């Protein structure tokens, strides 16, 4: 089966108040990001209400054959003219959708004798605009349009459909419909690695960072020094400049740079300073309201203090596998169980529970 792709970008975006296909995530528009993820498919079409009204879209566009008839018209119009046997259909407002999931759905559909494959998320929500439609759907879609019935679900009721549960990939189908949802999407995710001194915070972060990078995240770190740190080694040029009283000092080479400023760090500046990092790991911050992993590897008095007073904990970390059980309905992991800890972090990351900055 030859499968192409259709991105639906003809909506009015009334709730957003702005064309959603042009919204940006990490500097890339939603539409460009989806096109990149789907780049291996032989045919990619973009459905719009009127191609002449969208000079900003540099891709192959399909005009709606039925005006003001919503996504059903876009789907019908694309299936009527596409060269592919079927189309993977996505709205333009799912910027987290990955090429990996797209190819997985394609493989599932290859072994299905249905007219359509429709994604269902872990909350049992059906996503009729996230799935694969064969050309065999065209007559039913046309009949619905001719009758003025624009509900995709009504069309699906007259087709043979495979409702496919995407389970752990449900986060990839998150629709961004409102300014509030967009603000949450673009906020930086922060997670504090918290505990008392010598509890193993740095070692845990050192082991987690490569695992999280391997899982596809760009990771940044922030450490608060309770004492006044020296910005460079004594005797170096930049150290001498700092001692002389400069307000800011920059050291750089062809691959990296470091900047030190003589002023307090404002929380609002952290997101800007870490650039396109997906996740900021904060070392310490045990009494803050940041989401956190709490290391219960100190004395009983220290551990009890953390259990009683530290807030917003997504998981407790202990020194022994035998202690992996729930504490106050919160999961517990041994500090050596790095993969399980990373799984926990990614679950909260994808669910948006770590959003802060």
Report how far residue 259's alpha carbon sits from residue 77's, in angstroms, rounded to the nearest whole number.
54
Angle, helices 138-146/70-81, rounded to nearest 10 degrees: 140
Q: Which residues pair with 43 in a beta bridge?
A: none
Report how far residue 309's alpha carbon sits from residue 304's, in angstroms, rounded to the nearest whole number.
9
Say whether 320 counts as a known binding-site residue.
no
Write down the residue that tokens 């300073």 correspond to.
273
Say whether 354 counts as a known binding-site residue.
no
Say whether 64 counts as a known binding-site residue.
yes
Report how far residue 267's alpha carbon sits from residue 190's, in angstroms, rounded to the nearest whole number.
11
- The SS3 of residue 243 is helix
Q: Name the token pair of 112.
A: 């299905």
Report how far residue 162's alpha carbon sits from residue 4's, in angstroms, rounded to the nearest whole number.
18
If phi > 0 it is left, if psi is from -120 to 50 it is alpha, else beta; for residue 167 that is left
Strand order in the sheet with 219-223: 219-223, 279-283, 189-194, 292-295, 313-318, 332-334
Say whether 8 counts as a known binding-site residue.
yes
Say whether 101 counts as a known binding-site residue.
no
Instruction: Tell me the binding residues for Mg(2+).
Output: 93
Instruction: Tell me the binding residues for GTP.
Output: 8-10, 20, 64, 93
Instruction: Tell me the binding residues.
Output: 8-10, 20, 64, 93
């Amino acid at each position: 089966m030859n499968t192409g792709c259709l991105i639906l970008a003809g909506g009015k975006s009334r709730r957003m108040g702005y064309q959603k296909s042009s919204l940006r995530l990490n500097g890339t528009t939603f539409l460009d990001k989806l096109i990149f993820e789907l780049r291996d498919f032989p045919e990619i079409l973009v459905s719009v209400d009127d191609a002449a009204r969208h000079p900003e879209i540099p891709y192959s566009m399909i005009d709606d054959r039925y005006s003001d008839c919503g996504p059903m018209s876009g789907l019908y119009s694309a299936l009527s003219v596409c060269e592919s046997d079927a189309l993977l259909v996505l709205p333009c407002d799912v910027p987290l959708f990955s090429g990996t999931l797209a190819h997985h759905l394609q493989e599932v559909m290859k072994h299905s004798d249905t007219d359509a494959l429709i994604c269902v998320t872990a909350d049992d929500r059906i996503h009729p605009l996230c799935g694969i439609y064969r050309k065999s759907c065209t007559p039913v879609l046309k009949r619905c349009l001719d009758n003025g019935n624009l509900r995709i679900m009504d069309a699906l009721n007259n087709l043979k459909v495979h409702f496919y549960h995407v389970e752990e990939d449900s986060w990839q189908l998150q629709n961004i419909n409102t300014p509030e949802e967009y603000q949450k999407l673009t906020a930086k995710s922060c997670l504090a690695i918290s505990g008392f001194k010598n509890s193993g915070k740095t070692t845990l972060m050192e082991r987690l960072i490569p695992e999280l990078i391997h899982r596809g995240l760009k990771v940044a770190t922030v450490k608060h020094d309770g004492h006044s740190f020296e910005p460079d080694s004594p005797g170096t040029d930049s150290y001498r400049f700092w001692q002389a009283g400069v307000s800011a000092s920059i050291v750089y080479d062809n691959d990296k740079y470091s900047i030190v400023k003589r002023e307090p760090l404002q929380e609002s500046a952290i997101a800007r300073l870490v650039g396109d990092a997906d996740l900021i790991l904060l070392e310490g911050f045990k009494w803050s309201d940041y989401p956190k992993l709490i290391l219960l590897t100190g004395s009983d008095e220290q551990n009890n203090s953390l259990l009683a007073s530290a807030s917003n904990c997504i998981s407790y970390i202990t020194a022994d596998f035998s202690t992996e059980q729930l504490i106050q309905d919160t999961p517990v992991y041994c500090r050596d169980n790095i993969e399980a800890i990373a799984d926990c972090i990614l679950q909260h990351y994808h669910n948006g529970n770590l959003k802060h900055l």
